Amino acid sequence: MTTLDQTTPAVPAAAHASPLARIRADVRAMHAYAVQPAQGLLKLDAMENPHRLPEDLQARLGQRLGQVAVNRYPGAQLAQLREALLRHAGPPAGWSLMLGNGSDELISLLVLACGLPGASVLAPEPGFVMYAMSARLQGLGYHGVPLRADFSLDEAALLRAIERERPALLFLAYPNNPTGTLWDTAAIARAIAAQGAHGGLVVMDEAYQPFAACSWIERVRERPEAHRHVLVLRTLSKFGLAGIRLGYLMGDAALIAEIDKVRPPYNVSVLNAECALFALEHEAVFAAQAQDIRAQRARLIEALAQMPGVQAYPSEANMILVRVPDAARAFEGMRSKGVLVKNVSTMHPLLANCLRLTVGTAEENTAMLQSLSASI
């Protein structure tokens, strides 16, 4: 009988090459999205809503989630959620909505859907890192347009970039992350018109809408015909449900129908959908939480203005960007005192020596102010 050893060919040397070689070189060269360890620290680094549900609503939500048919794939429940979100957001007639596993997934799906040869993505910088990361992962070009030194929109530079690059997607965060800026309405309207003139899409990213003075949806309702190429992106993370990872994208129904084709089936779980439906039924509770956060933001800005060595920038989000003499020293000092914020000083040259502070509860904000004062 012939033995296995006699009939098995020798393994070529190439078979012993590292399997990492099968991973794209550009992926291996990237830095993963970093989530800071926060155990034992006052967590004010990720723009989360600091308020939990009242205990009675916690109990009612738990009972409701226990009745969900987790043995079944999501179905009619998602249609109910889409309708509830449309009522909540109030886009114009003829607009539709698609769901995502957080707005991050929707950004990736948008880039995937627009990934024609030579296509590119354009966004002001500093901005949300996922715009550039999603573009590069899908093989699209990415072009960042620097903001002015005060983090306002450089309209002339943006319009030149739109004309030069003719991007498939223009991302405009409204308000912006990490600066908290709500850019000039007229400048944004002109950028939207310029992008539409060459057939490009505009994504108004309203992740921080619960804390802003206005929403671009108001402009869309006024002039729907000028916004057929505009999509509005939102998330329930800042609404108060960061843990369930649920985002939604709104736009002209025909446009949403095409983008929705690249969405993975069942990308939103039945538990997440039910939790979102429950929260929308108790919208007033979350609106009160947002009002408290806005009040605490005003308190923080006032206190920071009196702090020597600290420059706080105006914000329409649940975060405040501050510039300090030495961001690394201030960050480490605050962490040693049990307060975790975000050191954004290396993200972009305009952010040199900047920290991003999340607005917390009154008690958390007092602790944050004390630790910052002692660390600069």
Whether the Cβ atoms of residue 252 and residue 94 lie closer than 8 Å to each other = yes
Same domain (yes/no): 301, 242: no
Whether the Cβ atoms of residue 121 and residue 145 lie closer than 8 Å to each other = no
CA distance 141 to 118: 7
The mean pLDDT of the chain is 94
Check whether 3 has a pLDDT greater than 80: no
Rounded mean pLDDT, 197-215: 97
Whether the Cβ atoms of residue 312 and residue 322 lie closer than 8 Å to each other = yes
pLDDT at 1: 46
Residue 2 included in any domain: no
Same domain (yes/no): 274, 342: no
- What is the side-by-side order of every strand in the sheet holding 342-343? 311-312, 319-323, 354-358, 342-343
**pLDDT greater at residue 49 or residue 31:** 49
Rounded mean pLDDT, 166-180: 98
Check whether 162 has a pLDDT greater than 50: yes
- Residue linked to tokens 């962490």: 335
Rounded mean pLDDT, 264-280: 96
Residue 311 included in any domain: yes
Dihedral, 122, 188, 97, 177 alpha carbons, nearest 10: 60
Q: Which of 256, 281, 306 is the last residue of a domain?
A: 281
* Burial class of residue 23, CB neighbours in 10 A (0-12, 13-18, 19+): exposed
Q: Which domain holds residue 46?
A: 36-53+284-375
Query: What's the pLDDT tens digit per position in 120-148?
Result: 999 999 999 999 999 999 999 999 999 99
User: Closest Cα to residue 138, out of 114, 105, 174, 122?
Assistant: 114
Whether the Cβ atoms of residue 182 and residue 213 lie closer than 8 Å to each other = yes
Q: Which of 227, 249, 281 is the last residue of a domain?
A: 281
Same domain (yes/no): 267, 334: no
Check whether 11 has a pLDDT greater than 80: no
pLDDT at 2: 47
Same domain (yes/no): 219, 137: yes
What percent of the chain shows pLDDT beyond 70?
96
Residue 196 included in any domain: yes
Same domain (yes/no): 162, 265: yes
Residue 338 included in any domain: yes
Rounded mean pLDDT, 15-22: 82
CA distance 100 to 263: 8
| Backbone CA torsion sign across 247, 31, 311, 364 | positive
Confidence of residue 37 (pLDDT cuts 50, 70, 90): confident
Angular region, 99: left φ>0, alpha ψ -120 to 50, beta rest: beta
User: Closest Cα to residue 138, out of 164, 169, 113, 101?
Assistant: 113
Residue 83 included in any domain: yes
Tokens of 73: 């794939």
pLDDT at 10: 59
Residue 257 included in any domain: yes
Tokens of 355: 């920290």
We report the CATH number of the domain holding residue 193 as 3.40.640.10
12-21, 53-62, 71-80: which has the minimum mean pLDDT?
12-21
Query: What's the pLDDT tens digit per position in 227-252?
Result: 999 999 999 999 999 999 999 999 99
Same domain (yes/no): 197, 337: no
Same domain (yes/no): 295, 181: no
pLDDT at 32: 83
User: Closest Cα to residue 75, out of 214, 227, 270, 290?
Assistant: 270
First to last CA, the chain: 80
**Long-range pairs for 59-66: beta carbons < 8 A, 24 or more residues apart:** 60/278, 61/275, 61/278, 64/274, 64/278, 65/271, 65/274, 65/275
Same domain (yes/no): 198, 329: no
We report the CATH number of the domain holding residue 44 as 3.90.1150.10
* Structural domain total, the chain: 2
Same domain (yes/no): 227, 344: no
Same domain (yes/no): 277, 288: no
Whether the Cβ atoms of residue 290 and residue 212 lie closer than 8 Å to each other = no
Same domain (yes/no): 354, 262: no
Same domain (yes/no): 227, 127: yes
pTM: 0.92
Q: Which of 223, 252, 281 is the last residue of a domain?
A: 281
Check whether 318 has a pLDDT greater than 70: yes
Query: What's the pLDDT tens digit per position in 322-359?
Result: 999 999 999 999 999 999 999 999 999 999 999 999 99
User: CA-CA distances (angstroms) from residue 128 to 5, 123, 179, 268?
Assistant: 57, 9, 10, 23
